[in-house]
A and B are shown apart, each in its own frame.
Chain A
């Protein structure tokens, strides 16, 4: 079974802090994704990556950046956390023509 592991289930940070959300997958998938999920808005794509060191913006990239230095790891970075970035963050991975496999999410609270 594919395993997508997000480093924290719950995280509390202060406004202005730099925040790193880490995601690791163990199935050699080319593609990795970061979504955020908010009530009434569904899942919205922030960034995705189709190869090491490659990244593409999704629908809502503002205030975020990503890093993919190794194939198995995809990091989401909040350069200066703000309260409107309080959300559930979901990482996913997939092969090129295959369904997404999700982690269990990180619930981030910015105070």
Chain B
């Protein structure tokens, strides 16, 4: 599976959009991009995933560049409850199903 690179930490003002970047320059054509987040003392929570088209759900939007070498998770109106560690993962769907997590981005939403 391709490796990912994320900033270690980011801040965002409450009510503003939080844009979390992820680089995955070695991604292959059949690898999906997944985003999870982990709030302190809980297990990681699935947010969204995509292959090459942009995706949106009730939690967030995922923007994947045309060359698929990077992506951005967008939380449109960040709240204090969005303070968490955000993980970007790339993997092939339906294989041995390994999900390899890195160290993620620690997002702090500031009042």
Give the interface of A toward B (CB within 8 A).
4, 31, 33, 35, 40-45, 48, 50, 56, 58-59, 90, 92, 94, 96-97, 99-105
Q: Choose the segment among B11-19, B64-72, B73-81, B94-102 that binds chain A (4+ C-beta atoms closer than 8 Å).
A: B94-102
Of chain B, the residue at the smallest CB distance from A107 is B41
Are B42 and A105 in touch, CB under 8 angstroms?
yes
Q: What residues of A have a CB within 8 angstroms of the CB of B94 in the complex?
A: 96-97
CA distance A48 to B97 in the complex (A): 8
Interface of B with A (CB < 8 Å)? 34, 36, 41-46, 49, 87, 93-94, 96-104
Residue pair A43, B93 in contact (C-beta under 8 Å): no
A41 and B97 form a contact (CB under 8 A): no
Docked CA distance A59–B3 (Å): 14
Contacts known (A92-B43, A99-B34); A56 close to B96, Cβ less than 8 A: yes
A100 and B44 form a contact (CB under 8 A): yes
With A31-B97, A96-B97 in contact, is A40–B43 under 8 Å at CB? no
